[in-house]
Amino acid sequence: MSEAPAPLLQVRNLRVEFNTRRGTLVAIDDVSFDIAPGEVLGVVGESGAGKSITGTAIIGLLEPPGRIAGGEIRLAGDRIDNLPAEAIRRIRGRQIGAIFQDPLTSLNPLYTVGRQIVETIQTHLPMNAAEARARAIDLLKEVGIPAAERRIDHYPHQFSGGMRQRVVIALALCANPRLIIADEPTTALDVSIQAQIITLLKKLCREHGTAVMLVTHDMGVIAETADRVAVMYAGRLAEIGPVQEVIHHPQHPYTAGLMGSIPAIGQEVERLPQIEGSMPRLTAIPKGCAFNPRCPKVFGRCREERPDLLPAGATRAACWLHDRTAVHADERR
C-alpha cells in the first residue's frame, strides 16, 4: 500500500480578522486543511461563509483592514503567511496561480492577451521575448483557444466570456505553479462552457500534478471536479471529507441541509427542503455552534460550546452529534 503524498499546502488554525470602528470582526476562525499535489479540494458554503477570504489569505491578497491574526500557511513545507510583500509577490504567479470569478478583473483591457501572458512569463521564468511568446501560444492552445497564433494579439474584449476565462487560466499557468486558487471560476459562464472549464481544470491536475483549491457555491461543480470537499459556515469548517461521502452521506446538519436543497434528476417533489433562517453576521455569531439557531437537531451543549472537527464516518464534522458522550449527557438532563 503506497503512502499518501505529502501535502503541498498546509493551512493550520488560520484566523483572519478585520479591525473596524465597531471592533474586531473574525472572518476566519481556526480553519485547518491540507491539499496534496494533484488533488482538487472543493470549498463550499453560503455567501459570507469565508470561502473567498480563505483563498485570498493563502495568496497574500488580503486588503487592509483585513489581516492574518493567527495560525500559519505552508507551501511545500515552507511558511508563507509571514513573508514580506515582495517575497509573497514572487511566490504568487511562480508557485501559486489564481483564477478569479470575473476574467475582466484579471485582464488589462488596454493590452493584448499575448502581451499580458508574455510579461507574466518573463517576470517568473528566464526566457527572452521570443521564447516567452512561443510558450504563451502553447499555453493558449493547451487551454483550448483555437487559432492561438492569431488570437494571441487580440484584446480581452475580442474574446467571449468562456474564452476570456481560458485566457485567465493560461495566465495562471504561465510559470507552472504548484497550487492554483480558483475562486468561482465558472460562475459567470453558461452550463456548457462550465463543463469545458471543469474538464480543463481536471486535465491540469492530472497532467501537471497541480493542486487546486476550488472555491464555489455550486455543488454540481464540486461533484464533477473535487476529490475532497470542505464545507464552511460562519468562518469555520463544518465538515470535510471525500466528495462522494459528503454529498451522499453528510454528517453535519448544515451539510445535510445544503445537499437536501439540490434537486435530483427524476425526483418529483412539490418543494425542496430549505434551511430556515440565514447565516449570522460576523458581528452576531451566536455562542456555541454557530449553526445552532438554524439546526433541526440542536440540543443543550450546542448552545454552550463550539465543537471542533470530530470523526464522523468517512468524514470529519464539527458537530456534537458525533461526540456520543455529549449526546447521552444531554439526554440524561
Return the SS3 of 70.
strand
For residue 43 the three cell numbers come to 470549498
CATH code, residues 1-95+177-253: 3.40.50.300
d(CA 71, CA 169): 30
Residue 200: pLDDT band by 50, 70, 90 thresholds? confident
Residue 321: pLDDT band by 50, 70, 90 thresholds? very high
d(CA 16, CA 31): 10
Nearest in space to 155 (alpha carbons), one of 98, 195, 206, 117? 117
In this predicted structure, which of 20-29, 86-95, 99-108 has the lowest mean pLDDT?
99-108
d(CA 286, CA 222): 29
pLDDT of residue 263: 65
Task: Give tens-digit pLDDT for 1-42.
Answer: 456 678 999 999 999 999 988 889 999 999 999 999 999 999
Pair 231, 255: CB distance under 8 Å? yes
Nearest in space to 180 (alpha carbons), one of 312, 40, 15? 40
pLDDT mean over 154-174: 92
pLDDT of residue 51: 95
| Domain limits, CATH 3.40.50.300, in the chain | 1-95+177-253
Between 241 and 197, the more confident residue is 241
d(CA 74, CA 81): 7
